[in-house]
Amino acid sequence: MSSDSVSNLMKGHMESLAKEGKRADGRGINEFRKVKIETGMINTAEGSAMVHLGKTKVLCGIKMLIGRPYGDSPKSGTMMTTTELAPLADQSFDPGPPREKSIELSRVVDRGIRESRMIDFESLCIEEGEKVWTVFIDLHILDNNGNLFDCCTLAAAAALSNTMIPNVQHGVSDKDVKLTVNCWPISCTFGKLGDSVILDPTSEEESVMTARFTVAHDENGNLRAAQKGMNGAFGNDEIKEAVKTARASDNVLREALKGIQG
Amino acid sequence: MAGQTDIELIKNGIRMDGRKPDELREVKIVAGVLDNADGSCYLEWGNNKVYAGVFGPMECHPRHKQKADRAIVQARYTMAPFSVNDRKRPGLDRRSSEISYIVSQAFEKVVMVEEFPKASIRVDMQVVEAHAGTRCAAMTAASVALADAGIPMRDMIPACASGKVNDVVVLDLNKEEDNYGQADLPLAIIPSTGEVVLLQLDGHLTPEEFELALELATNGCMDLYKKMRIALENSHGGKA
């Protein structure tokens, strides 16, 4: 339901639970919800994945088209990430052009994938300075029950990992090949609830939390992207602690991602 | 509609995908697939894949669209960028806007809008994979989602297209038939009264062919209607 209407009573309840290390849905404060990944359901896409994170559902489709490289990187392919906050996912999502919320989400997911060098952009060069592949990562949010950041990053990574470059369709060569994936960025998002910091917030928790922090790591435990959001603040120690927690907690998502690779 | 073609879309009364002229593609309907929406539906029709979600009745925004004596239905049809072979630019284009508009009007005929003055019922249709016939698939899914949401309605409205390929009138065009066929006629009806709430046509039909196409599409709608009711029975129990 609409997340604007959580009462002060519930806010107080969630804050005091968090203080004791508990959550309204029975999870610990550093625990992800149940995650499920399916892949390859969209035949018109070069790669696709549906990720369920608790009741949040995101469908990601990858399209690849031939475009021109940027002038300063003539040998590199390009990528673009968009998110569609479909009105059917949440009563508060308005139909219409993308708003700040959706643009921030796209850009954080984009950075996680791009800066981790998950995709080897130089391998996407067809003709230097003239023709390169552009990877379009389009994320469709179908059910919003909180933490779209992590769910979208996971959906994008899962979809990219089963993407076939459409060489035949575009007359590049006579064989489609698998898109090479170099590394596995996983993002972890935290919320500040009262004086506590919780991992993987639900919609209900998002509506009462004051600040959000997302950090993406690669599989070697190095940081690749981060973003602090909302109008509250984190202490310096809280940020450090969250980064540590992310490294310790992202294994469940990594395992789920490994599970889909044949 | 490309009109005349050398491609043999139908041979000895059997179509390229093995169907007879009056046969629907396989349809799978599941009601209540989304958690947040008041009502929802996932529908596969051939290779088409569609989600529909309903919110409401709720306060109508923007306010100036409110009607003092009834609710309005705000339907929105969109195609995912990855739903077609060439990537579609995200957002509403003219085609999606037109479909959204005529679908809204069709639903205002069956939803008991007079029960909810000044309210809005939001119907969102997301096509995630498209292979011809998506407006009918989306509308059928939306009907099931409205029923799943418990919105008072006189009836559900199944939608189905017929058309013409290689001079033969056929039911439910697939992608090739849509691209290279001679006519396409999407139709939505109210099964209990037989009234037509949506009809479009492009292509070329003789008056006799038109009547036959109308009959075929009506039969297709009635077939679909049974499947819609079964989907609701499956998710809500009881006999629909």
| pLDDT tens digits for range A70-118 | 999 999 999 999 999 999 999 888 777 678 889 999 999 999 999 889 9
More confident residue, A243 or A96: A243
Nearest residue of B to residue A145, measured between CA atoms: B36
Q: List the beta strands (DSSP E) in B110-194.
A: 119-129, 159-165, 168-171, 183-190
Contact A88 B81 (CB under 8 A): no
Question: Which residues in chain A are contacts of B34 at CB distance < 8 A?
Answer: 57, 88-89, 142-143
Contact B80 A88 (CB under 8 A): no
Cα angle value A10/A14/A16 (rounded, 5°): 115
In the prediction, which pLDDT does A112 show? 92
Q: If you average pLDDT over residues B161-180, what whole number do you get?
A: 95
Please tell me which of the candidates A42, A43, A136 has its beta carbon nearest to residue B87: A136
The CA distance from A215 to A227, in Å, is: 7
CB pairs < 8 Å spanning A and B: 99
ipTM given for this complex: 0.87
pLDDT band at A254 (very low <50, low <70, confident <90, very high): very high
Contact A150, A77 (CB under 8 A): no
pLDDT band at A2 (very low <50, low <70, confident <90, very high): very low
Contact A42 B58 (CB under 8 A): no
Mean confidence (pLDDT) of chain A: 93
Q: Are strands A131-143 and A78-85 parallel, antiparallel or unpaired?
A: parallel
Contact A82 B81 (CB under 8 A): yes
In the prediction, which pLDDT does B4 show? 59
Backbone angles phi, psi at A98, to 5 degrees: -60, 135
Q: Where are the domains of chain A?
A: 27-259
Nearest residue of A to residue B58, measured between CA atoms: A91
In the prediction, which pLDDT does B62 show? 85
In the prediction, which pLDDT does B236 show? 87
Please spell the DSSP secondary structure of B211-225, one letter per residue.
HHHHHHHHHHHHHHH
Q: In CATH, which of 3.30.70.1400, 3.30.230.70, 3.40.50.10800, 3.40.30.10 is domain A27-259? A: 3.30.230.70
| pLDDT tens digits for range B90-149 | 888 999 999 999 999 999 999 999 999 999 999 999 999 999 999 999 999 999 999 999
Q: If you average pLDDT over residues B196-205, what whole number do you get?
A: 95
In the prediction, which pLDDT does B229 show? 96
Q: If you average pLDDT over residues A41-51, what whole number do you get?
A: 97
In the prediction, which pLDDT does A99 show? 82
The CA distance from B185 to B195, in Å, is: 16
Question: Which residues in chain B are contacts of A136 at CB distance < 8 A?
Answer: 81-82, 87
The pTM for the full model equals 0.91
pLDDT of A3 above 80: no
- Domains, chain B, ordered by start: 14-236 (3.30.230.70)
Which site among A39, A41, A44, A137 would you substitute to test the B interface, given the most B Cβ atoms closer than 10 Å to its Cβ? A44
Contact B87 A95 (CB under 8 A): no
Contact A44 B85 (CB under 8 A): yes
In the prediction, which pLDDT does B1 show? 55
Nearest residue of A to residue B54, measured between CA atoms: A88
Contact A91 B91 (CB under 8 A): no
State the nearest Cα–Cα gap between A234 and chain B, in angstroms: 30
| pLDDT tens digits for range A154-213 | 999 999 999 999 999 999 999 999 999 988 999 999 999 999 999 999 999 999 999 999
